[in-house]
Amino acid sequence: MLPRLTLVTLLGCVSSLAAQNPDGPYWTEYPKPANTTSVRALGSLAIVETPSAVHLYSGLLRRWTVQPISANATVQATNRYCLIQDLPQVHAWSAATGTVETLTVSPSALVTIGSASSSWAAAVADGNTVHGFSGFKGQWVPQTITGQLQSLSLGSHSILAVDDTACYGFSAFFGTWVPTANRTGGTYSAFRSGAMVGLSGPDELKMFSSYQNTWDVAAFPNAVSGALNAQDGHAFVTHGNELALFSTMTGNIVRRSYSAPPTVYSGRNVAAVDAQGTLTGYAPGTDAMVPLPALGTGNILIPGGSLGSYAILDSGSSLLAFSGLTGTVSPGPSGAFNATLGDCAAYVSDGAGQALAYSALSGLWVPAPTGQQALQVDGTYESILVSTPTGYDAYSARTDQWASLTSSGSLVIQTSGALAAAVDANSVDVFDPGLGRWEHQATGPSPTWSVWRLTGIAHDGSTAYGYSLFHNTWESIALQGSVQSFRANSSIGYVETGSHVYVFTANGSLSNQSRFPEFSRFATRGGVLNHMQVGPAGAAVFGVFGTDPFELDLPPLGTLRVDPATYVSAVLGIIPSDGVLHTDLVIPNDLSLNGIVLRMQDLVVPVSGSPWITNSSEPYIW
């Protein structure tokens, strides 16, 4: 550990030496190759394709890689990797490594990426070998199979391969194969962050967690014919009166038997079990089964989005909220209310002047601004956006605060995202739920805006503008040529002109595998969080870690966002020749950490040039 006083002293010393070195640039300008056939962006990568080459941009590393291809090549892009089938070779490029890993395969090889819109793992089955590829690790990992390959299935972060003797789980987070014994007659399924195996004689469930890289086993009657409902942070299996709840975050199976078949109401990260009127809330982050009040003829409201993480019990005369993130119960207001559900935040109003917002992150109910006139209410991942006669009121589930904006512009949001913008005649204002405020950007006339997940880009024909919830910064770049296309997607965005491709990355120089709450990927207790610092080879990296919010501009170094009164610091090391310093942070399996926001920043001191304070990275721990 580096003593706090030493780090503060170091910050003061380098501040006097620094000229100007922000964490960016976040925009990059790339001359468009001749004969460009397509430009696209997904996840953390952008692709420019020609008949003879694929130009691959990593938003994590902020650099381009060019892979030659033949006229017969098939190019498949996913969230963090690109798979190029140019038989007999299969090339896999990872945005996390910036390198191309190649397999030479037979004509009968089976190549699969799972879901094209949400995949971080790929598989190639060839003869007696199954190769797994992790978009996080950027390597093909072989697994020799015994006898016949009985099943091969993929989820977003998982692969399940089954042979005559074993079932092999592969986690994109770890990039390894983990076996468990198999028997004949089983049922097999991979889902987003895990896998299920049902076996008989004896009847049992085997569940694989991508977050823990482990299998858990539990006896379960009629496991082979049990019905699987796979969500995100959890999955559950039912058969008759039997219920098994599996947390992909803890890796544990929770078994329950009832006197009659239970009804399970579930979102991506929460469940409520109704057993003949007796209600129980299930929080996959803690394995908690929490008794809930009887509801009678009331309703159970669960958001249906990508991160649906709470249940609201509406009795008709009062409200109560249960958080699947923390496993806590929060009594709400009395009365009859209408509700608008976001993934981590809800808005309720009785139509007579009483309105509140609820946060599944904190478990708090927060009154809306006094006199608020709600013309329209929208919920996103972690915000509530209320349109008013004078503009917009925004609520952040992270900060439990409302922020008002006077604007005549139109509101542009993605309900399955986290960033919202008010687009005016000569400006764009985005609501940043991490900061709990609106951030303004002046533009030229009539800006056009695109938002996806945590990233937004705009252009006015001559300048492009980008904002990200990962680095909490607006940045612009002058454009050459007329705009032909533009798009934001998750952690990336681009503007294409007749002569150039301009790519915007949502990632700062510091990143990690977790995306929550901006996207459905978690930092889990008992798991490993990869702390990834990009910079010049030979640079020294000093990390600061804390839990308290803070903001202090230290020009020209950057903005400190970890409270210096409470943080701890460490010498993380020297950036190696490939330009990336990886530090695996093992999160203790301690329940007291549940619901904690881990705030991380680095001070990077190059061998030559100016040091800088990186963007902050703030994963929410389950």
Q: How many domains does the chain have?
A: 1
| CB-based burial, 547-572: b 16+ in 10 Å, e otherwise | eebbeeeeeebbbbbbbbeebebeeb
Residue 571 has what pLDDT? 97
Is residue 580 one of the residues assigned to a domain? Answer: yes
| CB-based burial, 373-382: b 16+ in 10 Å, e otherwise | ebeebbbbbb
HEC secondary structure over 368-391: CCCCCCCCEEEECCCEEEEEECCE
Residue 7 has what pLDDT? 52
Neighbours of 100 (CB within 10 A): 17
Is residue 607 one of the residues assigned to a domain? Answer: yes
Record the pTM.
Answer: 0.94
Is residue 579 one of the residues assigned to a domain? Answer: yes
β-sheet bridge partners, residue 96: none
Q: What is the distance, to the nearest Å, from the Cα of residue 109 to the centroid of all Cα atoms in its chain?
A: 32
Query: Burial level of 67, CB count in 10 A (0-12/13-18/19+)?
Result: middle
Domain extent at residue 579:
4-23+521-613
Name residues of the chain where pLDDT drops below 50.
1-5, 13-21
Residue 533 has what pLDDT? 97
Residue 18 has what pLDDT? 36
Pick from 158, 335, 293, 172: nearest CA to 230: 158
HEC secondary structure over 228-255: EEECCCEEEEEECCEEEEEECCCCCEEE
Distances (CA, A) of 42 to 324, 487, 534: 29, 10, 21
Is residue 65 one of the residues assigned to a domain? Answer: no
Residue 295 has what pLDDT? 87
Is residue 136 one of the residues assigned to a domain? Answer: no
Pick from 213, 446, 451, 433: nearest CA to 342: 433
Residue 53 has what pLDDT? 98
Is residue 277 one of the residues assigned to a domain? Answer: no
State which amino acid sits at residue 284.
P
* Distance from C-alpha of 307 to C-alpha of 324, rounded to nearest angstrom: 10
State which amino acid sits at residue 512.
N
Is residue 590 one of the residues assigned to a domain? Answer: yes
State which amino acid sits at residue 365.
W
Is residue 13 one of the residues assigned to a domain? Answer: yes
Indicate the length of the chain as a whole number. Answer: 622
Q: Which two tokens stand for residue 380?
A: 């996103």
User: What secondary structure letter does DSSP report for 224?
Assistant: G
Residue 117 has what pLDDT? 80
* Distance from C-alpha of 239 to C-alpha of 247, rounded to nearest angstrom: 18
- Report the SS3 class of residue 176: coil
| CB-based burial, 581-606: b 16+ in 10 Å, e otherwise | bebebebeeeeebbbbbbbbbbbbbb
**Which uninterrupted H or E stretch holds 537?**
none
